[in-house]
Chains A and B, each alone.
Chain A
Amino acid sequence: MTFIATPQTKDHVRWRDMSAARRKEAILGYLFISPWLLGFLMFVLGPFIASFYLSFTTYSILQPGKWVGLQNYTRALSREPLFWKSLGNTAYYVIGAVPLRIILGFILALLLNVQVRGLTLWRTLFYVPSITPLVATTVLWLYLLNPKFGLINYALSLLHISPVPWLTSPKWSKPALILMSVWWVGGNMVIFLAGLQGIPQHLYEAAELDGANALRRLWHITIPMMTPTIYFNLVINIINTFQVFVQAFIMTDGGPLNSTRFYMLYLYDNAFRFFKMGYASALAWILFLIILALTILLVKTSNRWVFYGG
């Protein structure tokens, strides 16, 4: 847990060993954090447990529902083709978008880290798309991706590539959304840039004296030193892209032919269009377990490639 800056004081003093002043301090401490503590109980832990319970029932907002055991889970896994379809769509999107976003974010950060002039300006230019409200961005991209008069097909036509049907074709709809996700790579870039600037300069100087060229310096210094940052961005990007929702909801509503029916869309439909809230809760738990498993997998494999030497 390297990320927690530890205060100088220790907290594990037993209550009865405390002086009156320390007790008073402790009570005040709980009071100060009480908004979060209450919020945690009401809006995180409570819903979390409730969701687990609901996932074993046929609850809907319209009727109380009854206990059905594991039926919601077995139904999702064995009798709902759309479950697997939506999971497959989401995996496609994650596998397509995450590496692109990591690699492009890293390349941009590398370019900005070569003592360029006007660093702030460049950084701003690449970061601006990331601050545009998602709904407005989505509306803009509906237009950009329009097969007949959109700018993207126009750019392709300049390269003599025939028009792509993008959101109207089951084959191209996911690549279209992946392309769009690359546009807001600015956040990754900023985090990578901060990481790059933290690499001690003397490592490069030493390597240069040894005659290592730029490519070798990148491979033997920059990338190993950046693995913690790459790892962090990887985890965050996977968790976020796994929950892709707004773009698909607005642009395609899952279509064409369910090709953009992502997992969150499928979950939302069941919960709020069909009011199958018990089933939707089971879906939420399956999602949670998948994300948990992925995170654990990343944590477990991290010691093989993440370098915490610096």
Chain B
Amino acid sequence: MGAATQTKPRRRSMGKLWRRRIGLGLTYLTLATLSVIFLIPLLWLFTSSLMPLSQIGKWPPQWIPNPVQWGNYTKALKFWHFGRSFRNTTIITVFSMIGELTSCTLVAYGFARLRFPGRDTLFIVLLSTMMLPFAVRMVPMYIGFSKLGWINTFLPLIVPTFFGNPFYVFLLRQFFLTIPDELVDAARIDGASEFNIWARIILPLSGPAIIVVAIFSFQAAWNDFIGPLLYLNDERLHTLALGLYTFTAMPGQGSLYNQLMAASVLMVLPMLIVFAIFQRYFVQGVTLSGLKG
């Protein structure tokens, strides 16, 4: 009797344990299969960027470049005017990052730490502008910038970044609110100006949030396609993204998949490196964007 009552629950828990194990095994199997499916396109991107053209059109698709043709890269750099496009993209990206980091931290400090009439209403206005489709602003902004004579300059891509970005302001404000009041109050009692508090206390304590915004800002500027497409018609001002598009649209060139893949690798690689270094922050940023829900 005693033995039976002891073994019964034990057997049940053994069964449960096995069910758990099988469940976990199936989870790993599904995850592994799905991740292979997700990563194969990227793997193919890298291998085909080193293949001779004759190998690209083969059926079944080839996986190992034979012979390895590094020349694809040198050719891609040439048609792409890589030096020039890279310089243009870098200029736009660096200035956008400076603009967004400066303006968004200032604005977020105002919303998080200072009291003024209409603050909460204005903050809701700021949040709701995130939902506004870009299409509505696109045409008038183009007309405005062309009236200023800014078409075929980097200004339409850079200047607006100095006027804040609602999403980044939101992220930074959330973070600034978590900094203890005592620190700010103590500094105020010591006679520090608000600008000093922003520069000496808030910014140094907000490293993670600032990195998140810096990464997002980098990603947006580096990957931007519509902006350069609208404002940069002069080929000498083309960015990497725009140059890659022009290449696909060129008759004849568009089918040189190996060179196109080489160019794409060069475009993807900086993002992958930044992601590898800061992946934790990427995830934090995306997670925070979900907080709005």
Contact = CB atoms under 8 A, between A and B. Distances in A.
Contacts of A42: 163
B23 interface: yes
Interface string A161-196: 000000000000000000000010001001101110
Interface string A11-33: 11111000000100111111111
Contact of A129 (B42, B142, B162): B42
Given A4-B124, A7-B112, A116-B28, A285 B136 contact: yes
A280 B139 contact: yes
Interface stretch (A70-78, A216-224, A242-250): A242-250
Most chain-A Cβ atoms within 10 A of its Cβ — which of B103, B222, B291?
Answer: B291
Contact of A149 (B45, B56, B136, B249): B56
Contact of B194 (A9, A28, A120, A243): A28
Given A29-B114, A40-B129, A114-B24, A149 B137 contact: no
Interface in A184-216: 187, 190-191, 193-195, 214
Nearest to A231: B293
A67 interface: no
A306 B249 CA distance: 46
A99 B140 CA distance: 34
User: Dominant SS at the B interface?
Assistant: helix
B41 A116 contact: no
Nearest to A8: B181
Contact of B42 (A31, A132, A190, A272): A132
B160 interface: yes
Contacts of A48: 132, 136-137, 140
B30 interface: yes
Contact of A139 (B35, B40, B260): B260
A307 interface: no
Contacts of A183: 38, 41
Contact of B118 (A11, A50, A143, A291): A11
Interface stretch (B3-11, B67-75, B203-211, B267-275): B267-275
A44 B133 contact: no
Contacts of A194: 287, 290
Nearest to A158: B60
Contact of A126 (B35, B249, B275, B291): B35
A264 interface: yes
B116 A140 contact: no
B138 interface: yes
A284 B120 contact: no
A284 B115 CA distance: 37
Please classify how large the interface on chain B is, using the bins under 10, 10 to 19, 20 to 34, 35 or more.
35 or more
B53 to A, nearest CB: 11
Nearest to A108: B34
B230 interface: yes
Nearest to B169: A36
A5 B249 CA distance: 48
A30 B129 contact: no
A8 to B, nearest CB: 8
A29 B225 contact: no
Nearest to B265: A136
A284 B59 CA distance: 45
Contacts of B61: 149-151, 154
B144 interface: yes
B137 A44 contact: yes
B123 interface: yes
B275 A229 contact: no
A141 B260 CA distance: 11
A63 to B, nearest CB: 12
A112 B214 CA distance: 28
B34 A126 contact: yes
Contact of A133 (B109, B111, B223, B280): B223
A287 B287 CA distance: 28
Most chain-B Cβ atoms within 10 A of its Cβ — which of A36, A126, A133?
Answer: A36
Nearest to A6: B120
Contact of B110 (A33, A154, A239, A285): A33
A125 B36 CA distance: 9
Given A44-B129, A131-B272, A143 B260 contact: yes
A39 B287 contact: no
A5 B226 CA distance: 34
A1 interface: yes
A174 B42 CA distance: 22
Contacts of A291: 131, 133
Given A123-B283, A149-B58, A281 B139 contact: yes
Interface string B96-133: 00000001001101111011111110111111010111
A39 B244 contact: no
Contact of B268 (A10, A133, A272): A133
Interface in A88-127: 108, 111-112, 114, 116, 120, 122-127
Given A26-B114, A114-B23, 10 more contacts: A4-B120, A14-B117, A32-B109, A54-B140, A126-B34, A133-B267, A136-B263, A194-B290, A229-B293, A291-B131
30 contacts: A4-B120, A29-B110, A29-B115, A30-B110, A33-B122, A36-B163, A37-B122, A43-B141, A47-B136, A47-B140, A47-B144, A48-B137, A51-B136, A59-B143, A61-B146, A116-B24, A128-B39, A128-B42, A133-B268, A134-B223, A134-B241, A135-B244, A140-B41, A142-B248, A143-B48, A143-B260, A232-B293, A284-B133, A287-B135, A287-B136
Ranked nearest first, the 5 interchain pairs of A and B with the lowest CB-CB distance are A39-B163, A232-B293, A32-B110, A29-B116, A191-B290
